[in-house]
Amino acid sequence: MAYTEIEKKNIKAKLMENCEKSWAKYGYKKTNLEELCMHSGISKGGFYLFFDSKESLFCEVMIAVHKRFVQMIEDNLKAKLDKYQFAEVLKKVYREYIKIPFLVETTTPDFIAFMNRLSPEKLERLKEHNSYDLRDIIRQSDLIYQIDEELGISALGFVFKPLPKEQRVLSNQYETIDFMIDVLVEKIFV
């Protein structure tokens, strides 16, 4: 079937939206291409007009999600912020970040299986899109360090490192992260 440019754009967006939801709910291995296609209004054969493989779709979804986070950060940093406002931005970003398991749980067998199936080109593409540096965010905010920049960046980076499920349930995760961000921002910036 021949699709118009508008149809192609809409179908591709729907495939990516359905993939993101399924990946978050079921994981990479249990996300079924036939179901994604059915919910997107195309046949499985039609899928290959949009993506050359399941991994290509997942790679594009991961890049799109990352771009969404970068945009959210940039939108919140348009005005110059003090360290307390910066802390609130980090808390907001964290709350969105943990809603997407495939970003948080990168050491699971499911995620590793996905990464192992990617070609070197796709791995490089993911790396390029995931290299948005925390330094860039901080520079945009005009915050001034009161400690070594590398130490500050490393400490803030740990906030976004995945915690094992067992540790996430020990206490209120949001309260813990909010506390960590508040303490770190107070110690790192003037």
- List where CATH 1.10.10.60 sits in the chain: 1-51
Long-range contacts of 166-171 (CB under 8 A, 24+ apart): none
For 133-157, what is each residue's pLDDT tens digit?
678 778 877 899 999 999 999 899 8
- List where CATH 1.10.357 sits in the chain: 53-188
CATH (one of 2.20.25.190, 1.10.10.60, 3.40.50.300, 1.10.150.120) for 1-51? 1.10.10.60
pLDDT of residue 105: 81
For 7-37, what is each residue's pLDDT tens digit?
999 999 999 999 999 999 999 999 999 999 9
Please give the torsion angle defined by the CA atoms of residues 90, 93, 95 and 98, in that order, rounded to the nearest 10 degrees: -120
CATH (one of 1.10.357, 3.40.50, 1.10.10, 1.10.520) for 53-188? 1.10.357
Could you tell me how far CA 71 lies from the centroid of its own chain? 11
**What's the token pair of residue 138?**
């901080």
For 59-117, what is each residue's pLDDT tens digit?
999 999 988 888 888 788 766 789 999 999 889 988 888 888 888 788 889 999 999 99
**Predicted model pTM:** 0.81
Please spell the DSSP secondary structure of 75-96, one letter per residue: HHTSS---HHHHHHHHHHHHHH
